[in-house]
Amino acid sequence: MTKADIFEKVQERLDFTRKESAEMVETVFAIMKSTLESGENLKISGFGTFIIKQKADRRGRNPQTGESITIEARRILTFKPSAVLKDQINRELSP
């Protein structure tokens, strides 16, 4: 599913114009992005939690040369689905 598909679904379900639905979805995404950029976790009840984790410097190896290098510290984004979402996904697979 693409962003355009999400715009279309919002438009169909809420009877908005395409422009209104696009603005609404873009606004929600902008809020989510700014929250995550600031280092805060983002929890959406019934959906899941986006978690910012800090990774420390670590040793690595260049696979082409075999040279030892230091991989710099960085932040990564992980997603943990809620129990409700997991149940809904797995219910679809059950006979």
Is the domain of 16 the same as that of 57?
Answer: no
Per the structure block, which two tokens stand in for 31?
């809020």
Q: Which ranges in 1-95 belong to alpha helices (H)?
A: 3-14, 18-37, 83-93
Residue 94: the pLDDT is 59
Residue range of the domain that includes 18: 1-38
Identify whether 27 is part of a domain.
yes
Walk along the chain (95 residues) and give the pLDDT tens digit of each residue: 999 999 999 999 999 999 999 999 999 999 999 999 999 999 999 999 999 999 999 999 999 999 999 999 999 999 999 999 999 998 866 55
Q: Cα 51 to chain center, whole Å?
A: 9
Identify whether 45 is part of a domain.
no
Identify whether 33 is part of a domain.
yes
| Sign of the alpha-carbon dihedral angle for 15, 16, 21, 27 | negative
- CATH code, 82: 4.10.520.10
Query: How many independent structural domains does the chain possess?
Result: 2
Is the domain of 10 the same as that of 31?
Answer: yes
Residue 95: the pLDDT is 59
